[in-house]
Chain A
Amino acid sequence: MKAGNSRCAFSLGFLVGSCTLYIFLRQVWFEKSFGWKRHGKSNPPPLGPEQNTPNLTWRVEGSALINLKHPHQPGEDGHITDELFKKVRILCWVMTGPSNLQSKARHVKSTWSRHCNVVLFMSSEEDRSFPTVGLGTGEGRDQLYWKTIRAFHYALKNHGDEADWFLKTDDDTFVVVDNLRWILSNYTAEQPIYFGKRFKPYAKQGYMSGGAGYVLSKEALRRFVEGFSTKVCTHTSSVEDLAMGQCLEKMGVVAGDSRDTLHRETFHPFIPEHHLTGKFSKTFWYWNYCFYPIVEGPQCCSDLAVSFHYVDPVLMYTLEYYTYRLRPYGYRHRYQPPVPAVLSLASHTGKPTTEAQRLEERVKEKSVPTYTMNPRAEKVKTTGTTSHKCCPGEKHNRQKHCMIVNMIVSSCVNPE
C-alpha cells in the first residue's frame, strides 16, 4: 500500500514537474521568438552613410541654405533636371515664424526645399541655428504684407545674383520645384512677369494666391523694390497677395498663365484631395475668384503640378514620396510634356521633342529594348499641343506656346 502510494506520488510529481516546466519554457521561448521577430521586422534596413546625413548637400551661408547638389535617386537619369537646375535658378523663401519652426518649417526644410537653388526661411526673428532671417516685424496675419515686402527686399539685396526667379510660399505649401523650372524655362528672368494660382477680383489682370505660392522674375522683383523706393507702392493693406498683385500691376509686371499645355492648373490653393475629389459648393468663394475655369475631378490638376497649400507635415512627406519616390515600373504616362527650348537637346534637333519621341529614337538606335504591354491592347491617345491664336503682346515660340513679348496688360485669356 505504502509503495503504491509513493509510486503514485512520484508519477504525480513527475507529471506536475514536466507540465510546469513545459509551460514555463513555452512562455520564455515564445517571448524570445516574438522579441526577435519584432526586432527583425521593425528595424528598417540600415541607411548608408550618405543618406544618414542629407545635410551634406547644403551649404549654410548666414541665414541662407545654398544647395550644392541637386537631389537624385540611385539609378535615375537626371541630366535634364540638372541642366534646368543650372539654367533656371530659383530662390525659394518660406514665410514662417518662431512658433512654426519645429512644427512646420522643419518639414519643408527636409522635403521640397532641397530642390531649390537657394532657400531662405523668413521669420520675424533671426535664428542662426535653423537658420531663419529676422525681418524685424511682428507675427500674425496683419504682418503678412510687411513680412513679404521685407523678405523680397532682403532676397534681392543679398541673393539677387544667385537666382533668376524668386518664389514665395507659406510653411504649409508643398512645391515641386522641378515642375516650376519646366514652366519658367519658357520665359526669361528679364521679362517682368510673375506666376501663381491666378485669382480675378479686385485687380484688372488678377493677382496670385498667397498660399499656393507665387514666383517673380528678377525684373519683376526689381520693379517691386523700385515701386517702394519711388513710393508708387506702399503698405496698402495686410492682404498680402492682393496688395502684391496691385503693386506689380502698377509697375507693369504681367500676371502670367501658369497652366500646362492642356490648360490644367499647376498652382493649387488646397490639398490634392480637395481638388481631385471635392465638389466645391456653388456658393463657395472659390468659384468667383478663379481667373480660369475651374475643373473638378482628375483633370483639375496638371501631372506637372507645382504647388499645393494647407499641407500638414504628414502630407508633406507623403507628397514627397508620391512625387519623387513611388512610381509604377515602366509606365508610359499619358501626358508627354514638350521639352523646353532652353535645353540643349531641343536646340540640336531643332524640332520639339517629347519624352515618348526620344524613347522611340533610342529604340530605333536599339540602345534600349522596350516591349510594350497594354492591358487592353489598343492604341493609346497621344496628347498634342493645341495651336491657337495668342493674346496681344504674345507670340508663338517653337513649341507653339504663347510667350509674352510686350508688357501689355490685357484681360485676354488664351482660349482652350
Chain B
Amino acid sequence: MMSEGSSFMKGLILGGIFCLVMSFFETFNSGTHSEGHEHLHHHLKPVSKDELQKLSESQMSDWTLQVRVYCLIMVTPKLLVHWATANDTWSKHCDKSVFYTSESSKALEAIDLQEQDEWARLRKAIKHAYENAGDLRWFFVARPTTYAIIENLKYLVLDKDPSQPFYIGHTEKSGELDYVEYDSGIVLSYEAMRRLIEIFKDEDRCPERGHALWKTPEEKQLATCLKYTGVFAENGEDAQGKGLFNKKSVSSLISDSMGQNPADVVEACCSDMAITFGGMSPSQIQVLMYGVYRLRPYGHDFHDSLTFLPPNDSDND
C-alpha cells in the first residue's frame, strides 16, 4: 500500500515536471516563430503622402487603373431594410457592386445563390465574383449591416500589388488562427481570390460543408482555407496605427471614447480615413452618408493626389 502510494506520488511529481518542461520548450519554439510571423503579417497601412508625391505619372496611372473595387454584398431577405440601404448608399461607390442572396426577393435585385448555408453561399459568391471580375483586381466582401467608404479602401490598397495575395480587414485571433472579422468587411486581392478558388477544390482542407457537430463561423473557415494557400490576415490601419475597419457604429465608438478619453474624445476615437463601420440603422447610415460625402467646413483643403468623382444618379452623396 505504502509503496503504491509513494509510487503514485513520484509519478505525479515527475508528470508535472515533464509537462512543465514540454510546455516551456513549446512556447520557446512557437514564441520566436509567432513573433516573427506577427511582425511580418500584421499591420497594413496606406501609402504616405510624401511617397505619393514622389511617384512618376506613369506609375500613378497604372495604380489608378488597378485600384478598382468589386463589392460582394451578402444579403438575405431577413435583412431587406439593410439591403435596401446598402443599395441606396455606399455600394454606389464601388466600381462594381453585386448583391448575393440566399433566396430571391421581389423587392430588390440580386444574384440568387439559392443556398441557406452561409459558408457555402460565401464560396459560391467568391467563385462568381472571380469569374465575373473583368479587369477589377480588388474585392470587398461585406454584409449589408456594414457601411463602407470605398474611397478610403482604395487609398489603403493603392500601392499594394493585387497580383500578390492580400487578405485585409480588422484581424482577430482564435487560438493560433488570425482571421479577418466579417462584420467589419473583408478585402481580398485578385491573387488571394485565385488561391481561394484553387483550395475550394480541396474537400479535406477546405470543405464546403463542415463535418463537425458545431459550426465554425465563415470568417474563420475563410481564414483557415487561405492559410493553407499561404495567405495570412493583415490588420488595416492608418499612419497613426488606428484601425480602419470597425464593426461598431460611430456613436458606439464615440461613447466608448467619451468614457476612456474625455479630454480628447474625437482624436482618440476613430481614424480620419476609416473604411468601415457596423451595426448602424438605415437612418444613421443616411446621416453618415451626409457626414462623409457632404458635410464639411468651408476652406479646408487637403490636396489629395487622386480625385474620385461622385457616382451618377445619386443625391445623398
A322 to B270, CA, bound (A): 11
Q: Which residues of chain B come closer than 8 Å to A355, judged between CB atoms?
A: 301
Which B residues fall within an 8 A CB radius of A? 3-16, 18-20, 23, 27, 49, 57, 60-61, 64, 67-68, 92-95, 149-152, 154-155, 173, 240-242, 250-251, 254-255, 257-258, 260-261, 263-270, 272-274, 282-284, 286-312, 315-317
Known: A325-B272, A330-B304, A333-B296. A25 touches B19 (CB 8 A): yes
Which A residues fall within an 8 A CB radius of B? 2, 5-22, 25, 29, 37, 44-45, 47, 51-52, 54, 73, 75-78, 80-81, 83-84, 110-111, 115, 176-179, 181-182, 272-273, 276-277, 297-299, 301, 303-305, 313-315, 317-335, 337, 355, 359, 368-376, 378, 380
**Chain A nearest CB: distance from B80 CB in Å?**
17
**A17, B16: Cβ atoms under 8 Å?**
yes
Closest 9 CB pairs of A and B: A13-B11, A17-B15, A322-B291, A80-B299, A178-B297, A18-B15, A81-B299, A17-B12, A14-B15
Q: Which residues of chain B come closer than 8 Å to A272, judged between CB atoms?
A: 287, 290-291, 295
**B286, A373: Cβ atoms under 8 Å?**
no
Q: Which residues of chain A come closer than 8 Å to B306, judged between CB atoms?
A: 329-330, 370-373
**Chain B nearest CB: distance from A316 CB in Å?**
9
**A298, B316: Cβ atoms under 8 Å?**
yes
**Chain B nearest CB: distance from A194 CB in Å?**
20
**A374, B299: Cβ atoms under 8 Å?**
no
A52 to B267, CA, bound (A): 10
**B301, A329: Cβ atoms under 8 Å?**
no
**A319, B291: Cβ atoms under 8 Å?**
yes
**B308, A331: Cβ atoms under 8 Å?**
yes
A324 to B291, CA, bound (A): 10
Known: A76-B300, A272-B290, A328-B152. A368 touches B305 (CB 8 A): yes
A5 to B317, CA, bound (A): 81
**A16, B287: Cβ atoms under 8 Å?**
no
Q: Which residues of chain A come closer than 8 Å to B16, judged between CB atoms?
A: 17-18, 20-21
A73 to B266, CA, bound (A): 12
**B60, A369: Cβ atoms under 8 Å?**
yes
* Candidate in B23, B68, B94, B306 with the most chain A CB atoms within 10 angstroms: B306
A9 to B292, CA, bound (A): 71
**A335, B298: Cβ atoms under 8 Å?**
no
Known: A45-B240, A325-B266, A332-B310. A14 touches B300 (CB 8 A): no
Q: Which residues of chain A come closer than 8 Å to B267, judged between CB atoms?
A: 47, 51
Chain B: which residue is nearest A304 at the CB level?
Answer: B298
**B294, A329: Cβ atoms under 8 Å?**
no
Q: Which residues of chain A come closer than 8 Å to B94, judged between CB atoms?
A: 375
**A330, B301: Cβ atoms under 8 Å?**
no
**B95, A369: Cβ atoms under 8 Å?**
no
Residue of A29, A298, A372 near B290 (CB, 8 A) is A298
Known: A13-B12, A54-B264. A21 touches B287 (CB 8 A): no
**A372, B8: Cβ atoms under 8 Å?**
no
**A276, B14: Cβ atoms under 8 Å?**
no
**A29, B303: Cβ atoms under 8 Å?**
no
